[in-house]
Homo-oligomer: A and B are copies of this chain.
Amino acid sequence: MFKTEVYINRRTNLKNKLNKGIALIMGNVEASMNYPHNTYHFRQDSTFLYFFGLDYPGLAAVIDFESGEEILFGDDFTVDDIIWMGPQPKLADNAQKAGINKTFPFARLQEVVKKAQEQGRPVHFTPPYRGKNMMTMGNTLGVHPGKVKEMASVEFIKACIELRSTKELCELEEMERHMGTAYNMHTTAMKLAHPGRTEQEITGIIEGISMSGGGIVSFPVICSVRGETLHNHYHGNTLKQGDLLLVDAGSESPLHYATDHTRTSPVGGRFTSQQKDIYQIVVDTNNAALAATKPGITYKECHMIAARTIACGLKELGLMKGDVDEAVAEGAHALFMPHGLGHMIGLDVHDMEDYDQKLVGYDDEVQPSSQFGLNALRMGRRLHPNFVVTNEPGIYFIPALIDKFRSENKFTDFINYEKVEKYKGFGGIRLEDDVLVTETGSRILGERIPINPEDVEKMVLSGTK
């Protein structure tokens, strides 16, 4: 964990934002896979990590915004536990590391929360996303587990978002330190992009690199020759010459900060000229969005710059037509890029997505859109120094979407469907970096993973045939 002061300071900042009631901050418990004691890799709740840093299951905390009191709830290990699990830190010692002096057995959580409820004071918490926490919180709050989520505190959520959006120096250092693991994952995948290899094999190898580097993957790996399927977690294909291998993968640092990068490689090492044309538009779009990313601009504006770059490029290739500004305003480009330019990243790969995506990515000034494509933009609001966002434009040829738009006669002024039909089977290309907003502009975190087509080809060719 970071130094104790980091956590004390965060909680002080939180207390400066709320002045009524208590916060109930639930840590996670182990997640059972196929029976109670066979568990997935433990992942602490991000809000709990942010304010307390303690990476153990079975904890919860209460912060009293009126008295300022902080209590850590948990249970010490028994001698029998220690025989099986080895020496374990004491709850009180853990509390000290987080800068908390008061500890209670976990069983007393209900009593403390009930007291606040009886006094008519608000109990603030973020929405639970795991069933077991819903059940524990239901018991604690005296409501049905299914009702807990809707009782989450918007005021508390907004305070957490304000704090977590701006990354501290120690957080940026942790993120940057872990970028080497991301680099290894992606360059290794490039080197393995040869005919005969399987998606499953490459997925395993890059998951292993993540774990060797100190943490689990930050989200389920996408490693597919069918890159046009945006949420593709099928890994059953064998790579063939001429395929494009899209790898969207990230790793958690030892302190659980996420990386998130996408690269798209030509299987065998050489782009076809058709592939290179589309690829170059995506590189240009990524670079244009990066150049636009700076304090003061909204990320929605950056998204629109990306959209415009894509539309221009596709018009040059004859896949789009008509007035580019009009096409982009109406959302015609979303046939090719139906998702947003990016999202905030930090303790979560989609940072704070458990809170409420609209509160994280939008505010009174920048409101979410309902237009297809733009409605998938997770981050629209104005950028500030030390925000970290992903920059991930892409171009895809999605047969089901092409058929849908065409059958609905959508955007016939802007889309050259005859030509688009010929690209069915092309697949998809996405190129994603993690970008820090600096005082004056922005920069990519870590050494940039090869992105120019010739560098990617060189990396693939340097690998195992």
Interface 1/0 per residue, A179-223 and B, CB below 8 Å? 000000000000000000000111111111111111000111000
A353 within 8 Å of B by Cβ?
Answer: yes
Tell me the minimal C-beta distance from A119 to chain B in angstroms. Answer: 27
From B207, B210, B232, give the contact of A86 (CB < 8 A): B232
Tell me the minimal C-beta distance from A354 to chain B in angstroms. Answer: 4
Contact B200 A35 (CB under 8 A): no
Cβ-closest chain B residue relative to A130: B32
Contact B211 A398 (CB under 8 A): no
Interface size class of A (residues with CB under 8 A): 35 or more
Tell me the minimal C-beta distance from A202 to chain B in angstroms. Answer: 8
Contact A404 B83 (CB under 8 A): yes
Q: Known: A37-B353, A40-B40, A234-B86. Is A200-B212 also a contact (CB below 8 A)?
A: yes
Interface 1/0 per residue, A35-50 and B, CB below 8 Å? 1111111010110000
From B34, B36, B206, B401, give the contact of A45 (CB < 8 A): B34
Tell me the minimal C-beta distance from A334 to chain B in angstroms. Answer: 11
The segment from A100-108, A132-140, A278-286, A322-330 found at the interface with B is A132-140
A169 within 8 Å of B by Cβ?
Answer: no
A303 within 8 Å of B by Cβ?
Answer: no
Contact A212 B205 (CB under 8 A): yes
Which residues does chain B contribute within 8 Å of A84, judged by CB atoms?
Answer: 229-231
Cβ-closest chain B residue relative to A131: B131
Q: How far is the CA of A347 from the CA of B35 in the complex (A)?
A: 11
Cβ-closest chain B residue relative to A338: B83
Contact B36 A354 (CB under 8 A): yes
21 contacts between A and B (CB under 8 A): A32-B129, A34-B43, A34-B46, A35-B46, A38-B348, A38-B353, A39-B220, A82-B400, A83-B398, A84-B231, A86-B226, A86-B229, A130-B131, A131-B135, A138-B145, A144-B144, A200-B214, A204-B209, A204-B210, A204-B213, A206-B208
Residues of A within 8 A of B (CB): 31-41, 43, 45-46, 79, 82-87, 129-135, 138-139, 144-146, 200-214, 218-220, 226, 229-232, 234, 338, 347-350, 353-354, 398, 400-401, 404
Nearest 9 CB-CB pairings of A with B: A208-B208, A131-B131, A204-B212, A204-B211, A86-B229, A131-B132, A35-B354, A35-B353, A40-B40
